[in-house]
Structure 1
């Protein structure tokens, strides 16, 4: 029998089970035993069974699709988060729809409204650099629309959050630089309003204090668009060139690679004089020149956990949810 015509009823008849039992087993329901799930899934795979998403959505009044909103898909970190989300979503028979904000609050809102209007079952999102007013998101959550935030998260909205331990990552970066003998550690970071900016700045300050290093505001440079605009990076690096810094902690992928680009363009003679530690999930960080000690986030795991929380919320039988903030550890990879 051709797989496109093979139905849950066919599987149920072949295995002498009820259609509802097969349906629940295919959805990994807690109501079905592990042994029964194993038998059903093995038989479904053998027969190349594929769920009919249209029939399923009409029956259950769900689209079985979830939206993902990030600033830029090409960003190493976000692409790895998306991989993690997809690994969970597809295993649960959910499709994903991905959109980018390019750090625009207006585009972010348009994306949210579009995905909500297209009846996606929920959203996974990291806030844009421009976002300051999140009342419209809070309104959607109050209506019962599931949203899970990751990486860049709002402070007050009642929702699940999945983040990295940004403060510890910032502290570890400064600790490493101080141990290398750095006395004036600069900090290149993103938009002031973002949660990751605030947390990594706090870790930077903790590191300075732990090593009795001075906190100099002139050594902290903010890039509103996090490296997407080359001009803001050029200005920040040029201003830092006048501060006589000997180490730098950089708080993001685009900022890290952008900093190196500007240094090669304008300050090639000084490029080996500054020790660098930065947040980056680049898979080729070991070939960066000069070398960079990387603070790496568990991006894939972050995506998986966020997707799990969202799908649990979508499939919950009750409206009350105990929201949690999941904090995942960062790791430091020293490249000598």
Structure 2
């Protein structure tokens, strides 16, 4: 026989008090006597009473759940952002539903539909490298559900975004290579559909220009953040009559794979080619030489995006919220892939 879940009415009946008194006692309302509060809580524990989130959501028209759509959960950057999101949401009394798009717009759209049907109170999203339309995100806004983008944000106007200064991070990386003596610096670019790819490309170009170095288009390789395209782009660079003496990669995933290819070719790192990544993946400290990288505050980004979303949720759908763009700073971590190990340790 199925066991019936205890309700506030059951507790009220057993103690001969009103359901409203039980509700206030469970919330430690100061107008309820200590004796009554203790009796209510003791019986609630004995009956294994659990609040009904569905009933509460019907009462206040909120589910106290936020949705999150991101390209991949296993990537270190996104897993760190998830930790920041979850910590901040739980502290505010919200649950989190995570959906992984696997870098596919079709899956991103399906996830958006699922979250809308589950009536999340707000959405955090980081788009895929395929995303060309934001109509599935507009569906949230039409229903008064706030949306905040983090890291990978579309060029959509009128929504809040939390990003890092990709331009400056790329500038730091390339300037570091120039200061180490590199003059033919290649860039292994990310997906051309992602705005952050273009921000990092512009940072690369700006650093070259500042130091009086020309931008050689044949030194820009297109990877689409995929393994085989990275291999093809790297081999094309190495086959040039004048191959690069420095490489700035869109992210650490591309940089680590490139490092592997260079070592297969017996190319010395950093003596023949210096290498810098972006994102500070822990794998960068396992390989030899250790990877120089641009560190992003992923955990802080998750926290910040969640706080902004919760503020918009609490403001209510009837209140016009001014969209904001929050830009977080990056910093360089110098390791052995761009300077000899002995210098990197100084």
Shorter-chain TM band:
0.7 to 0.9
- The answer to whether the Cα contact below 8 Å between 1:160 and 1:323 also exists between their aligned partners in 2 is yes
Number of matched pairs: 301
What secondary structure, in the 3-state scheme, does the structure 2 residue paired with 1:187 have? strand
* Whole-Å separation in 2 of the counterparts to 1:86 and 1:110: 22
Q: Which residue of 1 aligns with 2:285?
A: 286
Q: Which residue of 1 aligns with 2:229?
A: 232
Shift of 1:13: 5.2
What secondary structure, in the 3-state scheme, does the structure 1 residue paired with 2:282 have? coil
Q: Whose Rg is larger? A: 2
Q: Which residue of 1 aligns with 2:124?
A: 124
Shift of 1:110: 0.9
Deviates most, 279-288 or 306-315: 279-288
Task: Determine if the alignment matches structure 1 residue 157 to structure 2 residue 157.
Answer: yes
The change in CA–CA distance for 1:16 and 1:186 in structure 2 (over 3 A counts) is: same
Q: Which residue of 1 aligns with 2:24?
A: 9
Q: Which residue of 2 aligns with 1:193?
A: 193
Q: Which residue of 1 aligns with 2:44?
A: none
* Whole-Å separation in 2 of the counterparts to 1:11 and 1:58: 19
Deviates most, 90-99 or 277-286: 277-286
* Runs of 4 or more consecutive aligned structure 1 residues displaced over 6 Å after TM superposition: 4-7
Task: Determine if the alignment matches structure 1 residue 142 to structure 2 residue 157.
Answer: no
Shift of 1:269: 3.6
Shift of 1:135: 2.8
Q: Could you list the per-position Cα deviations for residues 195-232 of structure 1 after superposition, in whole angstroms to 9, with x for gaps in the alignment?
A: 110111111111111111120111111222x13xx211
Shift of 1:322: 0.3
Shift of 1:263: 2.9
Deviates most, 243-252 or 159-168: 243-252
- The answer to whether the Cα contact below 8 Å between 1:171 and 1:203 also exists between their aligned partners in 2 is yes
Q: Which residue of 1 aligns with 2:251?
A: 252
The change in CA–CA distance for 1:68 and 1:182 in structure 2 (over 3 A counts) is: same
Deviates most, 89-98 or 138-147: 138-147
Q: Which residue of 2 aligns with 1:310?
A: 309
- The answer to whether the Cα contact below 8 Å between 2:25 and 2:32 also exists between their aligned partners in 1 is no
The change in CA–CA distance for 1:11 and 1:199 in structure 2 (over 3 A counts) is: same
Query: TM-score scaled to structure 1, two decimals?
Result: 0.83
What secondary structure, in the 3-state scheme, does the structure 1 residue paired with 2:89 have? helix
The change in CA–CA distance for 1:208 and 1:277 in structure 2 (over 3 A counts) is: same
What secondary structure, in the 3-state scheme, does the structure 1 residue paired with 2:98 have? strand
Q: Could you list the per-position Cα deviations for residues 268-327 of structure 1 after superposition, in whole angstroms to 9, with x for gaps in the alignment?
A: 344442111110232353333223211011111100010011111112133301000000
Q: Which residue of 2 aligns with 1:80?
A: 80
The change in CA–CA distance for 1:334 and 1:94 in structure 2 (over 3 A counts) is: same
Q: Which residue of 2 aligns with 1:176?
A: 176
* Whole-Å separation in 2 of the counterparts to 1:100 and 1:139: 19
- The answer to whether the Cα contact below 8 Å between 2:188 and 2:230 also exists between their aligned partners in 1 is no
* Whole-Å separation in 2 of the counterparts to 1:316 and 1:14: 25
* Whole-Å separation in 2 of the counterparts to 1:13 and 1:197: 52
Q: Which residue of 2 aligns with 1:39?
A: none
Shift of 1:62: 1.4
1:23-172 matches, within 5 Å, as: 52-172=52-172
- The answer to whether the Cα contact below 8 Å between 1:76 and 1:253 also exists between their aligned partners in 2 is no
Q: Which residue of 1 aligns with 2:323?
A: 323
* Whole-Å separation in 2 of the counterparts to 1:135 and 1:209: 38
Q: Which runs of 5+ in 1 are unaligned?
A: 19-48
